[in-house]
Amino acid sequence: MTRIDFYILPDTTLEARLDFACRLAETIYRKGYRLHLHAEDEAMARELDERLWTFRPDAYLPHALLGSDQEPTVPVTIGWEGPPEPGAQALLNLHPGIPEWFSRFERVAEIINQHQDVLTAKRECWQTYKKRGYPVTPHHLRGQG
C-alpha cells in the first residue's frame, strides 16, 4: 500500500514551499528512488525545473520535464497533467488535489505550508487519504531559513 508523508512547514510563501520541495527531491533521489514531481500547472513545473538547477550550488539532481527528450533517461521527472511513464517509485505532489494515479507509487510526499489556500487544499487531501485507508504520517518542520 502507498505510504503518504505530509511535510508541514511553518512558512507561508510559495518560495519556501518550492525550496523545500527541491531539498526533499534531492533527499528522495539520494535514497535511490525514481521520483516524479507533480506540479499545479505548467508555470510551477517550469519554476521547479529551474530551481532544481540552482537551489544549491553544490547539488546536481538529474531531472527533466515530462515530454522532453531527456525524460526516459533521468531519475527525476516533473509534470503537471498526466502521470509519468511507469518506473518512478515516489511522487512529490505539489498540486492542490490528489492525482487519480497516486497509488501506483510506493511513497507520496505532500508539502503543506501556512498559506491559507494550501492549508485548505491539503487538509482535504489528508482526509481523503485517511478515508481510503492509506497510512498518513505528518512531519512538522521547524523554520527552514
Q: Could you read off the pLDDT of 41-100 as tens digits, one per residue?
A: 999 999 999 999 998 888 889 999 999 999 989 999 999 999 998 999 999 999 999 999
pLDDT of residue 145: 46
Q: Which pLDDT score, from 0 to 100, does residue 60 have? A: 84
How far is residue 59's CA from residue 55's CA, in Å, rounded to a whole number? Answer: 8
For the residues 133-145, what does the mean pLDDT come to? 86
Read off the pTM. Answer: 0.94
Name the residue type at position 76.
V
Q: What is the pLDDT of residues 22-48, one digit of tens each?
A: 999 999 999 999 999 999 999 999 999
- CATH number for 3-140 (one of 3.50.50.60, 2.60.120.260, 3.40.50.620, 3.40.50.10110): it is 3.40.50.10110
Write down the pLDDT at residue 57: 87
Domain boundaries, the chain: 3-140
The Cα–Cα gap between 72 and 22 comes to 20
